Homo-oligomer: A and B are copies of this chain.
Amino acid sequence: MRGSPWRASRERARDRQVKREAVIRAAAHAFNRKGYHNTSLDDIAAALKVSKPTVYYYVSNKEQLLFECFVAGIEPIRTAFRKARRLKASARERLQAVLGHYGQAVASEFGWCMVRAEDQDLSPAMSTHIKSLKSEIDQGIRRLLREGVQDGSIHPCDPKMTAFALAGALNWIAHWYRENQSMTGAQIAAAFITVFENGLIPRESAETGRRPEGRLAGRVAR
């Protein structure tokens, strides 16, 4: 049998990957509850019922642990952008879709790490890496806003400030949302989007605060 050893090796590799991800998740969970600095690697190891060197067997150091959590949190948002780009709809609807996934990501178990990974806690290399990922998201939102203003689906606005406001509101979810909450991440995101789309000033066409139903709301002026 020549295939057998290879298969076994693949299985081991996959096994290792699974365990590694368990370490990442345990770290995210601990960071969520106690914060990065208040979490020791012993804590994480204890949560997994292993010893500290075992944790180091799967990741190289604490910083990388935070980084992995960050990436795990932000990746869904990036894919949301890719999917939205292929969508055939107004820019506001594409933005809607992206923000929905954004909100869910922030409310996920990795939300804390994604939102709170501070430059100050990271090596310069990691810091620039994370900043570039964050900037990619920011630029993506600004771009959708510009496109929306252009195609008339979004009220004229300053894209930079508006993007900051949107991202800020959604990011902040990570500060107050806890798993056992009555609302899911998707529900919160939906509620926020409603708030952002309607605005505080009453609309003449306002029917009890709900957006004029989901998809093609509003005048796609042109």
A86 at the interface (CB under 8 A from B): no
A162 contact set on B, CB distance < 8 A: 195, 200
A204-215 near B? 1/0 per residue, CB < 8 Å: 101011010000
Q: How many Å from the CB of A160 to the closest CB on chain B?
A: 7
Chain B residues with CB under 8 A of A1? none
A203 and B200 within 8 A (CB): no
Select A155's contact among B154, B172, B206, beta carbons within 8 Å. B206
- In the complex this chain forms, how many copies of it are found? 2
With A169-B169, A195-B161, A195-B165 known as contacts, the answer to whether A155 contacts B92 (CB < 8 A) is no
Across-interface contacts of A157 in B (CB, < 8 A): 194-195, 198, 200, 209, 219
Contacts of A156 in B (CB 8 A): 202, 206, 208-209
Q: A152 — which chain B residues lie within 8 A by C-beta? A: 202
